[in-house]
Homo-oligomer: A and B are copies of this chain.
Amino acid sequence: MSRLSLNQKTTNSWSLREAIDGTVAAGLSSIGIWREPLAEAGLENARNWLADTGLRVSSLCRGGFFTAADPAQIEAAHADNLRAIDEAAAIGTDTLCLVPGGLPDGDRDLIGARSRAAEAIGRLVPYARERGIRLGIEPMNPIYAADRGVVSTLGQALDIAEQFGADEVGVVFDTFHVWWDPALREQILRAGERIYSYQICDWITPLPADTLLARGMMGDGHIDFGVITGWVTETGYSGDVEVEIFNADIWATPGEQVLATMTERYTELVEPYL
């Protein structure tokens, strides 16, 4: 269990303080933090709580959303991402997760949006490097290509990442987003040391009506975690395994119970392959 991390989105009804306490109570040593609850708690409080508990912060979610075509919006997104880098440094993680964002309203130029996302990442690299923060691009399931993430495959994320140093830009990838990819093994092996975070949750069917909340607990869906985790292990990955689940039913379940189930499923389905 030393590598299992609670991404706090999984216990969405908990404040940051509650998520930190819940993670410690469940015997875990690592947590993935989101910016909104971090802002609510205050950076200084968060730093103190983390120091007191000794928890590692596996990643900060999330920067990105830089596909706008409008110059003012591009600058606003850039400034917000600089703040995200500062926040990541302040809470002692080395990884900022970047979700590129979707097509701007009424814009159908997917190639253009992808190119702006790549450019925006490049602009962040010097600032992030100085602060010791690695930028992890998160490829998103094509189901979100229009409205959330124009980077759709691990290979596409690596095409961007490889323009920079291996300790500057890499990938944060979630089984939910990439499990279907026929090139998955090849691209995981290609990623190698650029895997900054390995996140897990399941693909469930029928897909819940709100597709943003369509992720499932490991074991409840169709993903073979043994196979994919085995490929990640082949690369020599020794980092945390974050569980990040967006799901209304899980969010309505008491956090302690969610952590118990997630720990049990991790122990059964994932840990043997690490």
Confirm or deny: A73 has a beta carbon within 8 angstroms of a beta carbon on chain B.
Answer: no
Q: What's the dominant secondary structure at chain A's contact region? A: loop
Q: Give chain A interface residues in 116-167, CB to chain B under 8 Å.
A: 141-143, 145-147, 152-153, 155-156, 159
Confirm or deny: A266 has a beta carbon within 8 angstroms of a beta carbon on chain B.
Answer: no
Residue of B nearest to A212 (CB): B206
Confirm or deny: A114 has a beta carbon within 8 angstroms of a beta carbon on chain B.
Answer: yes
> How many A residues face the partner with a CB closer than 8 A?
32
Q: When the two chains form the complex, which single residue of B108, B114, B143, B153 contacts A223, counting CB atoms closer than 8 Å?
A: B108
Q: When the two chains form the complex, which single residue of B109, B147, B181, B223 contacts A205, counting CB atoms closer than 8 Å?
A: B147
B-contact bits for A215-253, CB 8 A (1 contact / 0 none): 000000111100100000000000000000000000000
User: A146 near B182 (CB under 8 angstroms)?
Assistant: no
Complex alpha-carbon distance, A146 and B202, angstroms: 11
User: A114 near B146 (CB under 8 angstroms)?
Assistant: no
Confirm or deny: A203 has a beta carbon within 8 angstroms of a beta carbon on chain B.
Answer: yes
Complex alpha-carbon distance, A254 and B180, angstroms: 37
> Which residues of B sit under 8 angstroms from A213, Cβ to Cβ?
none
Q: Give chain A interface residues in 176-215, CB to chain B under 8 Å.
A: 179-182, 203, 205-207, 209, 211
Confirm or deny: A110 has a beta carbon within 8 angstroms of a beta carbon on chain B.
Answer: yes
Complex alpha-carbon distance, A155 and B180, angstroms: 13
Complex alpha-carbon distance, A141 and B180, angstroms: 10
Confirm or deny: A33 has a beta carbon within 8 angstroms of a beta carbon on chain B.
Answer: no
Confirm or deny: A262 has a beta carbon within 8 angstroms of a beta carbon on chain B.
Answer: no
Minimum CB–CB distance from A94 to chain B (whole Å) comes to 28
User: B143 near A143 (CB under 8 angstroms)?
Assistant: yes
> Which residues of B sit under 8 angstroms from A145, Cβ to Cβ?
179-180, 203
Complex alpha-carbon distance, A224 and B150, angstroms: 14
User: B180 near A222 (CB under 8 angstroms)?
Assistant: no
Q: When the two chains form the complex, which single residue of B108, B110, B111, B205 contacts A146, counting CB atoms closer than 8 Å?
A: B205
Confirm or deny: A103 has a beta carbon within 8 angstroms of a beta carbon on chain B.
Answer: yes
Q: When the two chains form the complex, which single residue of B108, B114, B182, B209 contacts A182, counting CB atoms closer than 8 Å?
A: B114
User: A224 near B146 (CB under 8 angstroms)?
Assistant: no
Query: What are 14 residue pairs bridging A and B, where the CB atoms are less than 8 Å apart in the complex?
Result: A110-B224, A111-B227, A141-B143, A142-B181, A145-B203, A146-B203, A146-B205, A147-B206, A152-B180, A152-B181, A152-B182, A155-B182, A206-B211, A209-B209
User: B180 near A110 (CB under 8 angstroms)?
Assistant: yes
Complex alpha-carbon distance, A206 and B205, angstroms: 18
Complex alpha-carbon distance, A146 and B214, angstroms: 13
Q: When the two chains form the complex, which single residue of B108, B143, B221 contacts A222, counting CB atoms closer than 8 Å?
A: B108
